[in-house]
Amino acid sequence: MSDKSKPERQGEATNGVSSVSEHDSLETPEIDVLLEALADQQRRCILEQLVEADDGVATFSELIDRVLATSRGPNGSRERVATSLHHRHLPKLADAGLVEYDARSETARYRGDAVTEQWLELAIDHE
């Protein structure tokens, strides 16, 4: 006989959906930083591009193209998207430790982990 009022423990499955396991859990400040980084559609788009790349690397131009190709892109020109990525979104992702951006070579490298990818997938699925 199961007790439905009993709270689930981390790592247990609920209706076929498994929760984040104990060893994958984040400290509160870390989760706050991650959720703030994932709170913007363009940043999720950038991370999605980097996660999908075989080597986790994308050029600045590829990131701009990805944002413009999705419905998540802002209304405006390529220049406007480039400015937004360079001055706002890539620095925010770098500060969160999710992306390493080299402005000289105009490349971004993914630095997230499996937990980041789980949260990213969840956020994208609920857009």
Task: Supply the pLDDT for residue 127.
Answer: 86
Supply the range of the domain harboring residue 89.
Answer: 26-125
Distances 68 to 29, 42, 77, 81, 112 between C-alpha atoms, Å? 32, 10, 9, 8, 23
pLDDT greater than 90 at residue 125: yes
What are 24's two structure tokens?
């994958």
- Rounded to 5°, the CA angle 61-66-93 comes to 80
Mean pLDDT of 79-102: 95
Mean pLDDT of 36-48: 95
Residue 6 falls within a domain, yes or no? no
Give the type of residue at 91.
P
What CATH number is associated with residue 119?
1.10.10.10
Residue 107 falls within a domain, yes or no? yes
The domain total for the chain is 1
pLDDT greater than 90 at residue 12: no
Please tell me the distance from the alpha carbon of residue 22 to that of residue 8, in angstroms, as a whole number.
Answer: 12
pTM: 0.75
Residue 12 falls within a domain, yes or no? no
- Between 4-13, 18-27, 53-62, 81-90, the lowest mean confidence (pLDDT) is in 4-13
Task: Supply the pLDDT for residue 73.
Answer: 52
pLDDT greater than 50 at residue 7: no
Residue 36 falls within a domain, yes or no? yes
pLDDT greater than 80 at residue 22: no
Residue 5 falls within a domain, yes or no? no
Please tell me the distance from the alpha carbon of residue 1 to that of residue 111, in angstroms, as a whole number.
Answer: 45
